[in-house]
Amino acid sequence: MKRSILIFIFVASICNVFSQTQSEMNQSASVEYQKADKELNRVYGLLTKKIDATQKSALIEAEKAWLKYRDLHCKFECMDNEGGSMYPMLYSGCMTELTNKRTLELKTILDSK
């Protein structure tokens, strides 16, 4: 539950949720996740162009595993709120947070190539 509160604060800070309805907060969190996912895909695409075929194959497998981890972790993280009105916001916030972290990881690799 503590983690859910932290995710709420994170989402609140990026979505200015204190003056919105829950539905608007859920939508804002979803939009922020979509932006994060788009940036991850952009960086991933740049990285795949800079590595050889063997590395690309390994990266694809790593990314598949990471995506599965991210999705399952966020589902677990928000499980206490499942079915509640805040669940979509908390889930999107978790997905955004982990996606941004992964993007930074891939940027670090990209910068070293």
From the CB of residue 90, how many other CB atoms can be counted at a distance below 10 Å? 27
**Both tokens of residue 44?**
């991933």
Q: What's the rounded Cα separation, in Å, for the pair 82 and 90?
A: 10
* Tens digits of residue pLDDT in 45-103: 999 999 999 999 999 999 999 999 999 999 999 999 999 999 999 999 999 999 999 99
Domains with residue ranges and CATH for the chain: 2-11+25-112 (1.20.1270.180)
Which residues have C-beta within 8 Å of that of residue 110, sequence separation ≥ 6?
43, 46, 47, 50
- The answer to whether the CB of 106 falls within 8 A of the CB of 43 is yes
The structure's pTM equals: 0.82
Look at residue 110 in the predicted model and tell me its pLDDT.
Answer: 96
**Both tokens of residue 106?**
């891939």
How big is the CA angle at 35 (ends 23 and 112), to the nearest 5 degrees?
Answer: 150
* Tens digits of residue pLDDT in 2-21: 566 666 666 666 555 565 88
